[in-house]
Structure 1
Amino acid sequence: MIEVLAVPRASTRTAWSRAYAIARDSARPLPGRVVPVTGAVGLVLAEQVRCARPVPAFDNAAMDGFAVAGDGPWTITGRVLAGTADAGTLAPGHAVEIGTGAVVPVGADAVLPYEDCVVSGDTVTGSVGPRRHIRRAGDSLAVGAPVVPAGRTVTATVAAAVVQAGVDRVAVHQPPAVSLLVTGDEVISDGVPGPGQVRDTFTGLVTAVTGRAGGIMAGRCRLPDDRDRLQRAVDRAGGDVIVVSGSSSAGAADHLHELLSAAGATWLVRGVACRPGHPQALAVLPDGRWVVSLPGNPYAGLVAALTLLEPLLTALSGRTAAILPMLPVTGSPKLMPGGVRIVPVTADGALVAAGPVGLQAAAAADWLAVLADDWTPGAPAPLLRVP
């Protein structure tokens, strides 16, 4: 069962900042599971990783040159290259040629780099300086030392560090699974839309936002504006989060809110004081599944996905919520009294379009800026990254 933190039941027209905070703070990370490090990239560590094998695991040469013992000159007695399991023992007055990363013989005091010594026959001469050019076992990490803290997303570099420390399996949070229900008699999945039809723009957007927040797509279903079919689809939807596009308002074809209320859902957000995206919503079903309702307008749906879906999935995946960046925004958009206007802007804060906007404006933007009703041109505003 998903644990929901204590939050007040939603009222209509929740302030945008409050809605974003509710989605960000209402869920705990999903339970952990142990997986091979190779399969953990992109997931979030549920437990701290500690070193199981010292790093380095053995004394090894930090430079190409000669491993020497005692005082020089030294008699060269052999060669040791990386991959040799046993370099033997080196007596005082003796040396072996050695490659970077190779095991240093027992008894070696230093490695003389090639550029710091002279070889004549089987004799090498030179001076041992303050740097011995030997990496001793455990110099970087001793057994039991922390390698990576819990809460860190496993990147390729994190995975490499964990493997180097002798750890093959790690505990990670399960990624939240998302089921998408695309509603609307007018929506088609492919081909050229006919009269009164539109292409599905939600599948790609929701998939991108889900992946960016650490979730996975568990399934997608397209539904007509039919109450019973929507009811069955919600009942059967797998995963942790159900995303429904359309059916979010109060029209004759909008059934979602009535169905969720009848099912005993807890409403956390039910309408947000923003334009576009007012009819977005967030609820929790009695069985613990989350429901994110996205408006049917594609740009408004994008706004809602960034406002509610992304912060929710970030929390469920165990990732640390990022502080929204701020940027001075220029332009003269129409503000929303008592709410926020969400507009596409470029990386330098310039407004992409001053009038009505849609996906074409968002496609030309780097961010969506959240403008309060008291915002003035040039003032900074919170930013949502365009997927």
Structure 2
Amino acid sequence: MAKELASKAKEAFINDDFDVAVDLYSKAIDLDPTCPVFFSDRAQANIKLSNFTEAVADANKAIELDPALTKAYLRKGTACMKLEEYRTAKTALEKGASIAPGDTKFKKLIDECDLQIAEEEKDLVQLVPSTLPSSSIAPPVSEVDLTPAPAAPAKAKYRHEYYQKPEEVVVTIFAKGIPKQNVNVDFGEQILSVVIDVPGEEAYYLQPRLFGKIIPERCRYEVLSTKVEIRLAKAEIIIWASLEHGKGPAVLPKPNVSSEVVSQRPAYPSSKKVKDWDKLEAEVKKEEKDEKLDGDAALNKFFREIYQNADEDMRRAMSKSFVESNGTVLSTNWNEVGTKNVESTPPDGMELKKWEI
């Protein structure tokens, strides 16, 4: 029965009835989900309908079932090229060419991929300056878009959400009790393909073309008891406007600037550590205060401190008594000295031979 449906699907494909072909191949797959040719042929029909992400998923499933099926690699490569994922396409095509080295179609498409990759590298625009340290690129947690944003589901069977950080996007599919072997996740340069296929149930597909490019080898997923968690490593540190391609502009994350005011003390490039100048100043003052002197130096230091901490009357008394006694008397009581105006000159630095209070 499955083969009969596949035969009718081929006839529909030849007659350019691609929607009918996809529908018939899907019914054949429901009856025999282990036939790689059904998936590979449905991939070709999906390519004709411009359903490129679905075509990639079908080709991946065909390759999983039969790693030696060359036309599955050819169709995956073709679909990825339509999605402008030339590196992913080239990898698939090179694998197919290694299995069928005499097939010239692979070489022609690989050459085209090389040309497009060279153009991409030539026109590449660096969105974030490479000299900017990562610590200044990363926005504070409060500014990262951590609120789950519901994405438009491909099927209503399972709900999915996503949130993002500067360097990754986390997609969660809320599917409970799904065995790990029934979950197939594939990563392309800008494709996420998720297929949850439980025998006896309708298969679930999530195959968006992503908002931005990712690094496939750094992406990973985990099948948990209540969900499937997928982590997509961003190729560029930008904020995605949505999970899917073409739904709003990308923006750069805000730099992580501390709210604390930076000290105005000088910091030199050659310094290994930023010095705490206020702390050093306090230490110097403490050392000066605690400095132990002998003789006249100790007395001078003692009376300088009295003068610095005195009020105006005391300073005038000290200055007048010091001047009138030619440096032999230093009084701190203005009433004892008198009311004659004298210049209030501090006794700092003068050598006194005798002190009287």
Same fold by TM-score, threshold 0.5 exceeded? no
Structure (1 or 2) with the greater helix fraction: 2
Give the structure-1-normalised TM-score: 0.19
**Higher RCO (CA < 8 A, seq sep 6+):** 1
Structure (1 or 2) with the greater strand fraction: 1
